[in-house]
Amino acid sequence: MSVNVEFAPDGQHGVVAEGTYLWDAAKRLGVRLPAECEGRGECDTCAVALKEGATLLSSLTNAERERLSPERLAAGERLACQAKIERAGALVVEPVPQPEGTTMGDEEQSKSKDLRADFKGMSLQEKFATLVELEFDAMTSTFRAVSDAATAALGKGVDAVVGAGRERARRQRTARRPPEHTGASPKK
């Protein structure tokens, strides 16, 4: 079953699968939410306000109860990295504006610089893992298409590296999931 998600106020929208976190839905639809703790439920920068469809989401996690005040919870705010879409339907969400001095422009620019610097020093496998994590699927697909045209041996090597990168990215994503969703012990 799929879910229609729309991000206000700009109206980016699309269909995602049940089980998708709002944070991942935002990335897929081209909405860059701030994420100071990178999805670990340790900040509140990824907060979004639910305009429609709040009942489609997973229950509040401990991280959300700790990071969002009762007033913010009453106003329908959720942490995008903690809120999983569990039921089909239509959702409308709006990113909560960040305090001055932490605008997306500044943050994105600084992250982009850091990423470029880090990327230079990475091994090939780490570069692929990073690309996968950033959901640069188009880039890996293009690379694979090019490799298909090259020798079979090279193609197999690329598949192995891409596969290892995907597995690493999957493990990193799983490690960030709320303990309520993984059966792990809650963070202290």
Select 43 or 49, whichever has its Cβ closest to ligand FES: 43
Report how far residue 152's alpha carbon sits from residue 155's, in angstroms, rounded to the nearest whole number: 5
Out of 48, 81, 158, 169, the only residue in the binding site for ligand FES (CB under 6 A) is 81
Q: Is the separation of the CB atoms in 103 and 34 below 8 Å?
A: no
- CA-wise closest residue to 182 among 46, 8, 62: 62
> Near ligand FES by CB under 6 A, which window of 41-49, 95-103, 121-129, 136-144?
41-49
- CA-wise closest residue to 12 among 95, 85, 79: 95
Select 37 or 92, whichever has its Cβ closest to ligand FES: 37
Report how far residue 104's alpha carbon sits from residue 185's, in angstroms, rounded to the nearest whole number: 33
Q: Which two tokens stand for residue 93?
A: 């969400």
Tell me which residues in 8-37 interact with ligand FES (CB under 6 A): 35-37
Taking CB under 6 A as the rule, does residue 50 contact ligand FES? no
Using CB under 6 A, count the residues that bind ligand FES: 11
Taking CB under 6 A as the rule, does residue 48 contact ligand FES? no
Binding residues for ligand FES, rule: CB under 6 A, are 35-37, 39, 41-43, 45-46, 79, 81
